[in-house]
């Protein structure tokens, strides 16, 4: 019997390693492919695009928020992989109510990503101690932590615009940035309610009234980026697909030319699981270059 506890405190049980997996989370789809191969997947979402060139052969059940419950059921999965944030809660509950074995994840830190990966290995019948992708992730994280001596580069990473939106220190991407030598300048800036309060136009609601609402994604005034001392802006290509045009537009709005603006791969910031191994190296190299541009080479010593 295989047993793990998921992110919503459910005991997920399998009598044997699954042969038919449906993944509703892009990063988890890629992780399954890395750990077991694409042949173990029988369903994915439209946004599950890795590994390119082979994942296209796996049928899609729709979007991450609006997947087809009946479509998932028709694939007769042994295991369904979902995420507390990425997937619609009522739809995931419908899968559970239908008797499917569903694992719900929600890693918000690098360490939690490693823990998730070990749980996924257990579910899939893979020995994490013998898994090359798991070993690579652990080594990348340990290496980054051993070299974490340089001055952190203060960065702003938007995830949306009109209004501009980012993430605070409770989001997975913020911890990835810290690991790679950057500092999220909005790490201590929770989302305020209502929207007018987030944009500094009215008083925010009390914590009691905010209740259990997610405060990890503040909507901000662009002036706050400079007020908080950002030296670089990283524009990811997901969840909002920022482009070179956005970089030019942001530069036009920016009153401080010394703030560097660069495009980055959003998957490296937001995809947990096996993606972490390569993401740490790529982001660390990018941050090292930005540090030299911002502070000079002495900041690396």
Query: Which residue is associated with the tokens 């950002």?
Result: 230
Q: pTM of the entire structure?
A: 0.93
Strands 102-105 and 79-83: parallel
pLDDT band at 299 (very low <50, low <70, confident <90, very high): low
Q: Report d(CA 232, CA 292) in Å as an integer.
A: 12
- Which CATH number is 151-300 given? 3.40.50.1980
pLDDT band at 80 (very low <50, low <70, confident <90, very high): very high
- When pLDDT is averaged across residues 236-251 and rounded to a whole number, the result is 89
Q: Report d(CA 92, CA 27) in Å as an integer.
A: 17
Here the tokens at position 114 are: 């490693």
Residues of the chain above pLDDT 70, percent: 97
Task: Give the E-state strand segments of 171-238 in sequence order.
Answer: 182-184, 219-220, 232-236
- Mean pLDDT score of the chain, rounded to an integer? 93
Domain ranges for the chain:
2-106, 151-300
Q: What is the pLDDT of residue 257?
A: 65
Q: What is the pLDDT of residue 256?
A: 59
The answer to whether the CB of 180 falls within 8 A of the CB of 285 is no
- When pLDDT is averaged across residues 120-135 and rounded to a whole number, the result is 96
Sheet with 153-156, side-by-side order of all strands: 182-184, 153-156, 232-236, 260-264
Taking CA atoms, 274 is separated from 121, 171, 214, 282, in Å, by 11, 18, 26, 14
Q: What is the pLDDT of residue 297?
A: 56
Please report how the helices 110-124 and 276-295 are oriented relative to each other, as an axis angle in degrees rounded to 10.
160
Which of 181, 166, 185, 193 minimizes the C-alpha distance to 270? 166
- Comparing 2-106 with 151-300, is the CATH topology the same? yes
Given this structure, which CATH class describes domain 2-106?
A: alpha beta
42-77 per-position pLDDT tens digit: 999 999 999 999 999 999 999 999 999 999 999 999
Is the per-residue pLDDT at 301 higher than 60?
Answer: no
160-201 per-position pLDDT tens digit: 998 899 999 999 999 999 999 999 999 999 999 988 888 888
Helix, strand or coil, per DSSP, at residue 228: coil
Sheet with 21-23, side-by-side order of all strands: 41-43, 21-23, 79-83, 102-105
Listing DSSP states for 134-188 in one string gives HHHHHHHHHHHHHTTTSPPEEEE--SBTTTEE---TTSHHHHHHHHTTEEETTTT
Q: What is the pLDDT of residue 200?
A: 86
């Amino acid at each position: 019997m295989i047993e793990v506890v998921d992110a919503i405190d459910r005991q997920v049980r399998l009598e044997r390693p699954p042969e038919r997996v449906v993944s509703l989370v892009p990063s988890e789809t890629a992780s399954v492919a890395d750990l077991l191969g694409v042949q173990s997947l029988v369903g994915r979402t439209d946004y599950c695009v890795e590994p390119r060139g082979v994942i296209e052969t796996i049928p899609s059940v729709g979007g991450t928020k609006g997947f087809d419950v009946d479509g998932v059921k028709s694939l007769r999965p042994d295991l369904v992989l979902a995420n507390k944030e990425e997937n619609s809660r009522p739809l995931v509950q419908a899968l559970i109510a239908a008797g499917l074995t569903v694992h719900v994840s929600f890693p918000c830190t690098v360490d939690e990503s490693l823990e998730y990966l070990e749980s996924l290995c257990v579910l899939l019948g893979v020995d994490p101690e013998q898994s090359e992708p798991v070993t690579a992730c652990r080594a990348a994280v340990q290496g980054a932590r051993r070299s974490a001596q340089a001055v952190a580069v203060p960065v702003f990473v938007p995830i949306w615009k009109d209004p501009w939106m980012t993430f605070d220190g409770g989001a997975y991407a913020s911890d990835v940035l810290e690991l790679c030598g950057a500092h999220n300048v909005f790490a201590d800036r929770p989302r305020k309610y209502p929207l007018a309060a987030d944009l500094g136009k009215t008083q925010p609601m009390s914590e009691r009234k905010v209740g259990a609402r997610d405060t990890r994604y503040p909507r901000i005034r662009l002036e706050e980026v400079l007020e908080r001392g950002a030296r670089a802006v990283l524009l990811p290509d997901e969840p909002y697909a920022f482009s070179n045009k956005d970089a030019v537009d942001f530069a036009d709005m920016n009153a401080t030319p010394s703030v560097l603006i660069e495009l980055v791969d959003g998957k490296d910031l937001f995809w947990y699981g096996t993606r972490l191994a390569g993401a740490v190296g790529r982001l660390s190299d990018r941050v090292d270059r930005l540090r030299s541009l911002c502070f000079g080479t002495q900041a690396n010593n």
